Every structure is written in structure tokens, then in C-alpha cells.
Amino acid sequence: MPCTVVTGAFWGDEGKGKIISYLALKEPLDVCVRTGSVNAAHTICYQGKRYALHMVPGGFVYEKCRLLIGAGTNVHVAQFLKEVEETKVKDRIGIDSQASIIEEKHSMQDKSNAHLKSLGTTGWGVGPALEERVRRTAKLAKDSPDLEKYLTDVSEEVNKALDKGKNVLLEGTQGLMLSLFHGTYPYVTGRDTSASAICSEAGVGPTRVSNVLTVFKSFITRVGTGPLPGEITKEEATRRGWFETAAGTGRDRRSAPFDFELARKSAMINGATQGAVTKLDCVYPECKGSKTYSELSREAKKFIEEIEKQTRIPIVLIGTGPDALDLIDRR
């Protein structure tokens, strides 16, 4: 049962898009399912082009991969159609007919609600859309004429693919510390973001999962408000080369050094079997472009080994540059 779940360890921005695109190209992937919602963008750099995708799964880089959006997802129709054109995946992407729709009114409610703004929401309308779904009044993908040709039963497709031994990846969005249940409540998103929730939204039972890959960044960032242990100033982040802006919203990302206790907890709750570390070159510049573990500096190796010790999982992928293929693969 070659089913991999990819999760984020912290507050998002860990580089899941990079890891997913690499796996899609190297495995290669037969099916890639996106869960979550439009409020998080996955950044993918491939063949000289940079993509910030809110809806299309990162597995699109492999041209034979079937792309799916799960029933638990909130779909922003205009953004979905825009990304389908940008990535040229019209003939190989599907949306579960029971995925819910984010309407313009939801975005307006999100932006005008003082409480939601104080929590640092993105303004896409995800929270209000989820509220409607819980009240059983939300419109579903099957109610949108613009999505008619993309409709499918994602759980049926994915489980049949697994029955045939195909290679499937379930793509989570955001990070565990933004989970409605396990994160820094109330400064969290409107859903669970753990590996268990990813499976649920895609319609895949936990016994069908063969690998949970949790992605860590070599330093921690978050956008919006809420606690960030060890936070440094924007000026210090810039000096260290850690300052970033969010791919989807353009907001400044707040920065902090790597937190081993948070990494341990994230690996535990996600049931991680493997880990990936991205942007090692931002903390250890001498490692930029390295292709093998032996090329890494002694300090960088000690860092990786400490993550493995604290989380009790092997770090199998290490990012050393921005491109999808700038990775050390230890598998």
C-alpha cells in the first residue's frame, strides 16, 4: 500500500510544496490529493518558474500524475480555475463533488469580522465557509456549473488506485501548530491539520497509509498573530537570511530558531515515520547546493542528528536550495 501523507510540523511555510514536487518527480506519483483550503499556498520552483498554488496539488510537476481535491476541502472556484490554466492540468484534475465552496460573501465576512482579523486570518473566507458547512447550509462543488466537468468521487478514485498498488500522496496544507485542536488556539485555522485529518478529508482510512512524512524547516516562521517561541526581530531575521514573505498573501513571516520540543510533539501527533528538513542552506550557507549527506558541514550534520534524536524518526530528505531537485535524498 504505497500511500504517503505529507504534513507540516510548525505553523506552515515549511516547504511542503518543494518536498511534494520532488517526490512527484522521483517516485513517480500516480495520484496526488490535496486537502485543506485556499488560505495556504504551496511554493514550487520548477524548470525556472515559481508557482504559488492555493488549490492545485504540488504533484502537477509530473505530467502523468492524476490530481485530486478531496471532499474535506474548501474550493475557491475562481482561484482553482486560474491555477488550472497556469499549470495546464485541465485534463487530469478532479474535485470531489462534496467539497464545499467558498463564496464571495465568505471573503467579505472574513475581512470585516474584527474577531477573525485579530486572529490573523488571510481574508480568503475560509472560516465563514467552514461555519456554513458545519451548519449544513454550504454550497458544494456539485452545485457549481463551473466545476461540473471536474467532478469525481475522490475517495473511490484513491482507494481503487491503492488497490492496484499505485503510488499515492496525500498533501496536507498549513502546519500542525495551526490545527484547530492541537495548535496555539485561538490563533489557529478552522480545521485540524494533522496527518489523521488529511486522511479523513481525502477519504482514506489510516490502515491504508504506509508512510507519514513530516516536513520541518531549519528555522521557524509564522504569519499573523499568535505565539512564536524564541521569536527574533525582523531586522535580525534579515541579517540571518531568514526573513520571508508568505507566498500566498505577501504578508511578512515572523521568524524564530528551530524548536526541538515542538518538532518532537509534531512528530508524535502526526505519527511521523520519516522527516524532511528544508532550507538547511539558510542556516548553514556552506551547505548550499550539496547533493550528498557527506558534503554537509559538521555543524549541519549535528543539527540533523539532533532532530532525529528528539523526534525519533529518520530525516530522509534535506533541502539545500530553492529548486524542486535541490535535495539530498537519504532513502
Catalytic residues: 13, 42
**Start-to-end Cα distance in the chain:** 18
Rounded Cα–Cα distance for residues 12 and 24 (Å): 20
Q: Which amino acid, 88?
A: K
Distance CA 17, CA 57 (A): 9
Q: Which bin fits 265, alpha (ψ -120 to 50), beta or left (φ > 0)?
A: alpha
Give the integer Cα–Cα distance in Å for 319 and 50. 16
Q: Which residue from 105, 102, 94, 98 is spatially nearest to 140, judged by alpha carbons?
A: 98
Please check whether residue 247 is in contact with residue 52, taking contact to mean a CB–CB distance below 8 angstroms: yes
Cα dihedral sign for 324, 202, 178, 109? positive
Supply the angle between the helices 195-202 and 154-163 in degrees, to the nearest 10.
100
Residue whose C-alpha cell is 499505485: 166
- The CA distances from residue 252 to 237, 248, 273, in Å, are 11, 11, 32
